[in-house]
Structure 1
Amino acid sequence: MKWIYNKHNVTFRLVIIVGILLVSLVYVSFKTNVNVAEVFSQTKELPIYSVETEDKKIALSFDAAWGDEFTMNILETLDKYEVKSTFFLVGFWVDKYPDHVKEIAKRGHDVGNHSTNHPYMTKLSREQMSQEINITGNKIEKLINKKPILFRPPFGDYNDDLVQVCKENGYYTIQWDIDSLDWKELGVQPVVDRVVRNAKNGSIVLFHNNAKYIKEYLPIIIERLQKDGFEIVPISELIYKDNFKMDNTGRQILIKD
C-alpha cells in the first residue's frame, strides 16, 4: 500500500508541476506576445540570416528609416568600387525621399521593404503585418515599376506568423549574420574590424544608411573584402529562390538533386 501511495503521490506532483509550467507559458505569452503553439512546434519558421555557398560571395545591406544625409555618398562609393547592394526602405522614408528611391533602383541595387511604420512586427496581427508590408511594397513599386521581394523586419523582430505572411505576399524574410553595430557610433575601426573579421561565404552584413561614420568605413570595408577575394552582390543574387532548406541558425541551404 505504501508503494501504491507513493506512486500516486509522485504522479500527483508531476501533474501539478506540468500545470504550473503551462500556466507560466501562458503568462509569458501574454506578456511578451510569444505564441505558445510555436514553443511546442517541432518546426520553426526562420528568416534568412546567411547562405551556404562555396562561392566567395557576400552581401552588404543598408536599412533606411531616419535620415538621408549620406545616401548619395553611399551610392557614389558603391559605384566607385562597382558594387551592387541592397537597401531596405521604410514607408515614411520612401514618402520623404522618392527621388532617392528611384536613384537606388536606377543604379542597379536591390530595393527592399522595411515596413511602413517601423513597428515591432510580432506585436501585430497577421492582417496588420500584411498592411505594413504591402503599403510600402506598393509605394516602392509605383516609383520603380518593380515589386520588392525582400523584407527585413524592423529591429530584427519576427515570429512564425511574420515569415508565413511574407511568403504569402511574395517576400523572402531577410535578417543578417554580421551586425556592423554602426548605430552605436563607436568609430570607424570597430565597424571595419567587426565586418571584415566575421566575413565568410554567404554572409549578409547590416549597415544603416545614416550611420555617423559610414563615409569613412564603407570604402575601407569594401576594399578589404575585395582584397580578400569576396564578390559583393545584392541579396537577391545571393539567396536561393527555391529548392532550399534552412538550418537552425537561419542559414539557407540549397537542396541538391
Structure 2
Amino acid sequence: MFIVGRRKVILKGLGWLLIFLAGMLAGAYLADRPPLAVLVGRSKRLLPIYSVATQEKKVALSFDATWGAEYTPKILEILRQHNVKTTFFLTNIWLKKYPDVAKKIAAEGHEIGLHSATHPHFTSLTEEQMEQELRENHRLVEEITGYKPELFRPPFGDYNDTVIRVVQRLGYKAIQWDVDSLDWQEHLSAEDIYRRVLKGIKPGSIVLFHNNGKHTATVLGPLLEKLKVEGYQVVPVSELLLKGDYYVDHAGVQRPAR
C-alpha cells in the first residue's frame, strides 16, 4: 500500500511539473506574438461600415428619409446656419412624394446616399431583387437631383454577407451607424435624444437621424453647437471614410490596411 501510494504521489508530481513546463513554453511563445485581437482583427463576416478609426475629431450626421417631410425644411435651415454638410439616405418611396425637397437637399450641398426603392428587408430578397432595388433607387436619385450616389444604407439596418457582397459588386459602400438617436420613437423627448447622441459620439462616429423625426430639428441646433465647443467637425459620411486600402473589423470599424 505504501509503495502504491508513493507511486501515485510521484506520478501526480510529474503531472504538475509537465503542466508547469507547458505553461512556461506557451508563455515564451506568446510573448513573441502580437495580441490576439490583432491576429483576428479582420471580420470573417462581411460588414457595413459602422464607424471610422481616426484620431481626428470628425463625425458624420446622417438622415434616413422614408416617410414625411414636415420637419425637413427646418433641418436644412439649421444645417445652413451652422455651415454643416451631412448625408441624406433617400428611398424612392420618399423621393416620389417629395421631389422638390430632395432637390433642395442636393442644391444645398448635402451628400445623397441610397436607401432602396421600396424599403424592404434586404435579407429576404434574392440577389437579382437587391440589384433591382439599388439600380432603381440610383436612377431616381440621379433623375431628380442630378446626384450620383456612392453610398448605401440597408433599410432597417438589415444585412448579411450576401447583401454586402451585392452592394460592393455594384460599386457602393454599405454604411451603418454606431450612434442611433432613436429620434423616430415618439416616447423620447428632445432632451432624451440629445443626451443619447452626446453620450455615444466619439471621433469617427456615424450618427443616425431621420429627416422627419418629431424632435430632430429641435435637437440639431444645440447638438451642433455642443460639438463645435468640444472641437468636433461635422462632415458628410464620404468625407469621414478612409481613403485607400482599408478593412472593416469585427465591430464594423473601418481601419487602414496594414
* Fold agreement, TM-score > 0.5: yes
How far 1:195 moved relative to its partner?
0.6
How far 1:169 moved relative to its partner?
1.1
C-alpha deviations, 1:125-159, integer Å up to 9, x for none?
A: 00000111110111111122232111001110001
How far 1:95 moved relative to its partner?
1.0
CA distance in 1, matches of 2:121, 2:212: 21
Segments of 5+ residues of structure 1 without an aligned counterpart are 1-41
Structural mapping, 1:115-194, within 5 Å: 115-185=116-186, 186-194=188-196
Q: 3-state SS of the aligned residue for 2:113?
A: strand
CA distance in 1, matches of 2:169, 2:246: 17
Is structure 2 residue 252 aligned with structure 1 residue 254? no
CA distance in 1, matches of 2:99, 2:106: 11
Structural mapping, 1:1-257, within 5 Å: 43-185=44-186, 186-255=188-257
Percentage of identical aligned residues: 49
The alignment covers a number of residue pairs equal to 215
How far 1:99 moved relative to its partner?
1.3
**8 A Cα contact 2:91 2:118, kept in partner:** yes
Letter in 1 for 2:84: V
C-alpha deviations, 1:80-129, integer Å up to 9, x for none?
A: 01110000101111111111111111111111110011110000000000
Q: 3-state SS of the aligned residue for 1:217?
A: helix
Q: Which residue of 2 aligns with 1:23?
A: none
Q: 3-state SS of the aligned residue for 2:184?
A: helix
**8 A Cα contact 2:106 2:147, kept in partner:** no
How far 1:214 moved relative to its partner?
1.6
CA distance in 2, matches of 1:99, 1:183: 23
RMSD of equivalent CA atoms: 1.1
How far 1:242 moved relative to its partner?
3.5
Report the TM-score, using the length of structure 2 for normalisation: 0.81
CA distance in 2, matches of 1:151, 1:242: 19
How far 1:252 moved relative to its partner?
0.1
CA distance in 2, matches of 1:52, 1:97: 35
Letter in 1 for 2:198: V
Q: 3-state SS of the aligned residue for 1:182?
A: coil
C-alpha deviations, 1:146-182, integer Å up to 9, x for none?
A: 3211100111000111111111111100000000011
Highest CA radius of gyration, 1 or 2?
A: 2
**8 A Cα contact 2:62 2:86, kept in partner:** yes
Report the TM-score, using the length of structure 1 for normalisation: 0.81
Segments of 5+ residues of structure 2 without an aligned counterpart are 1-42
